[in-house]
Chain A
Amino acid sequence: MDKIQIQNELKEIIKVYVPEKEILENLTLEHDLINDLKINSAHIVDIVLDVEEKYDIMIEDEAIMKMGTIGQAIEVINGKVQEK
């Protein structure tokens, strides 16, 4: 599984939590989930749950704190997938 695949799958997961979908058309690794994508901070835990289910991984609270941008989220997910 490569990071491009994770990025595409992550985009599908976060879509429902993004109020303005247009921004997803030009999604970059630098996009911040809360500040740029305007995802309600309460939904970060929902995204983590969806990600955990999708990849059958467990993301601890400390790792969640590191998932600020799309790129950082991919790194965390990729790291956990590699550990499996």
Chain B
Amino acid sequence: MANHRVVITGIGVIAPNGVGRVEFENSLRIGRSGIKFFEKSKTLNFNCQIAGKPNVTPDYKEIYFDDYYQNKLKNKAIIYGCLSGLEAWKDAGLKKNHELVDYDSGMIFGSGALAMDSFNQKTVEIILEGKSRRLGSSIIPQSMSSGTAAYLNKILGLGNRILSNSSACITGSESVLLGFEHLKLGKAKRMLCGSTEGDGILIWGAFDPMRILTSDSNDNPQQGSRPLCKTSVGFVPGGGSGTLILETLESAQERNAKIYAEILGTDVNSGGFRNGGSMTAPNSSAVINCMKNTLAQSKITSDEIDLISGHLTGTKGDVTEIKNWIVGLNRKQQNFPLINTPKSMIGHCIAGAGSIELVAAIIQMEKSFVHGNYNIKEINPEISAEISPNCIPQQTVQKEINTIMKANFGFGDLNCTILLRKWKNG
């Protein structure tokens, strides 16, 4: 069976604190927050009235969109997804296919609650008024879970596998895993892999009653997302999208593409809702297996890991996560690797989280820095009892990073881990 090496040759991102990879990198370095207060959430009596929402301007859309996309695309999940996808495609030095179908390239583009983006609030109102005739032709394409892939592919013209995965908070990392496995088998030359989440009152209002969102920072939104912090009371919802272009090493080298990193190994599994696993909490033994399987596939030892890109949402799951990393990597206290997450700046972008955070990981690897975990008043004592505070940078530090392990954990007891290694000419 074919066993191709798989590398990353392009990245694109739309995040609450940065539109496009250059702005995102700058925000990560200086700790710029994209979390804001929303008056509408207050009017509607949400406990959590803050969120992360990307600031996508018509000028930015103009770079990638024609007038139809500019004026008629309303679902923000699809807008964010198309923009991050097109930026990544361009970053990889690839062209749009106007005439021919590119059967060597495919796409895995995931989403979460895609049809719950606030654009559909109007749809429901119009239907309930008995005026569905007024809706026009684009509500279904913009509400189907495969909507982002469809709109993106109308521009790109890819003819290999086009798939839209949906696995809650692991959606983004899982899209990369699925593309990786497809390429490893030699079934395509390159795969555009990404994920997206929209935003607005329908999504935020649906999360609100679960009592897992931050409710203590409505007057101080930028301090609301506090992963690893003793005082953290929940996560801040966010929207956005990230995309990675995955390619077989042969294909990337053949066209002299810039290579950011190689994917050495991945794993995805489920805790099966057993042994502590539930809709919202992980079965830790499955998490640990997931980490170990990725290490085994990567053929490296855990002491080679320079940085963990954690899931770390700011809920009580942070403590469980740290304990699982300790067992999964067999490293603790001073020997624990550096760990960070951009969630203090962007909130938890749900299905968009994994891909945005992978883009952050690749930027840090490329530019040799580790961004801070901001907003920590005091490290949660249950965490500082297990790992050294030196492992938790609270400001950006310059550092050569060669190996990153990424994890995401999702509703439905789902786990996904990915191991990245910086590319150094072979």
Contact = CB atoms under 8 A, between A and B. Distances in A.
B312 to A, nearest CB: 43
A3 interface: no
A43 B71 contact: no
A38 to B, nearest CB: 12
Contact of A45 (B67, B68, B137): B137
A16 B136 contact: no
A45 B137 CA distance: 7
B137 A46 contact: yes
A49 B67 contact: no
A49 B138 contact: no
A46 B138 CA distance: 9
A49 B68 contact: no
B424 interface: no
A43 B67 contact: no
Nearest to A45: B137
A46 B66 CA distance: 17
Contacts, number: 17
A42 B137 contact: yes
Q: How large is the interface on B (under 10, 10 to 19, 20 to 34, 35 or more residues)?
A: under 10
A66 interface: no
Given A15-B67, A16-B67, A45 B72 contact: no
Size range of the interface on A? under 10
Contacts of A45: 136-137
Interface string A26-46: 000000000000000011011
B72 A16 contact: yes
B135 to A, nearest CB: 9
A72 to B, nearest CB: 20
A17 B72 CA distance: 10
Contacts of A17: 68
B136 A46 contact: yes
B68 A16 contact: yes
Contacts of B71: 16
Contacts of B68: 16-17
Nearest to A42: B137
Contacts of B72: 16, 46
Interface string B33-76: 00000000000000000000000000000000011100110000
Given A16-B71, A46-B72, A46-B138, 14 more contacts: A15-B67, A16-B67, A16-B68, A16-B72, A17-B68, A19-B66, A42-B137, A43-B137, A45-B136, A45-B137, A46-B136, A46-B137, A49-B134, A49-B136
Interface of A: 15-17, 19, 42-43, 45-46, 49
17 contacts: A15-B67, A16-B67, A16-B68, A16-B71, A16-B72, A17-B68, A19-B66, A42-B137, A43-B137, A45-B136, A45-B137, A46-B72, A46-B136, A46-B137, A46-B138, A49-B134, A49-B136
Q: Which 6 A-B pairs have the closest CB atoms?
A: A42-B137, A46-B136, A16-B67, A45-B137, A16-B68, A49-B136
